[in-house]
């Protein structure tokens, strides 16, 4: 883009609203100084880290840094996995990721309090135990400890039969 006062390349770009209409002004540095526009001596030094952090905060929110460290003790899912997949791993995730979930739930539903039906008989204790066993099973398989994995698998099957 060229300067509006001379034919040099414009490096100062201003937008003003005059009578409700945006007006753009494109000037080179000498013409901008002649017009009385105060320019900084050198452009601000922004490192790549600062730019990326600014984009993350703008698009995801302030809490992400703290929440990214959290993992559910029952199912092992991390907050960033939830953000990528859009699914929580177990009911305990609502408590673990509460700070990050409340704004999301409010944005989608307009409220954060449940007003629907709830089950008459809750199996929260047994469900948590099963979820913990599944997380332990996943870890033992990752460690290639197949004997313990088979034992844990049998415990899970036994709990399924009791349901």
SS (HEC) of 88-110: CCCCCHHHHCHHHHHHHHHHHHC
CA distance 96 to 67: 9
CA distance 42 to 62: 30
pLDDT in tens, 127-155: 777 888 888 998 999 999 999 999 999 98
pLDDT in tens, 43-83: 666 666 666 666 666 655 555 566 777 888 888 888 878 87
Helix axes 146-162, 124-142, angle to 10 degrees: 160
Q: What is the pTM of this model?
A: 0.39
Instruction: List the chain domain ranges.
Output: 1-37, 58-109, 124-162
Average pLDDT over every residue of 22-47: 81
Count CB-CB contacts under 10 A for residue 33. 13
CA-wise closest residue to 53 among 71, 68, 70: 68
The alpha carbons of the chain give a radius of gyration, in whole angstroms, of 28
CA distance 81 to 100: 13
């Amino acid at each position: 883009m060229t300067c509006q006062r001379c034919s040099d390349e414009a490096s100062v770009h201003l937008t003003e609203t005059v009578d409700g209409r945006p007006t753009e002004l494109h000037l080179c540095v000498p013409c901008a100084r002649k017009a009385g526009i105060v320019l900084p001596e050198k452009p601000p030094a922004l490192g790549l880290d600062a730019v990326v952090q600014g984009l993350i905060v703008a698009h995801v929110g302030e809490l992400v840094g703290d929440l990214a460290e959290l993992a559910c003790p029952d199912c092992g899912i991390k907050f960033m996995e939830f953000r990528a997949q859009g699914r929580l791993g177990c009911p305990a995730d609502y408590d673990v990721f509460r700070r990050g979930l409340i704004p999301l739930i409010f944005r989608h539903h307009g409220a954060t309090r449940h007003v629907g039906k709830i089950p008459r008989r809750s199996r929260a204790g047994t469900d948590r135990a099963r979820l913990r066993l599944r997380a332990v099973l996943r870890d033992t398989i990752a460690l290639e400890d197949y004997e313990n994995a088979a034992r844990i698998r049998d415990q899970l099957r036994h709990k399924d039969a009791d349901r």
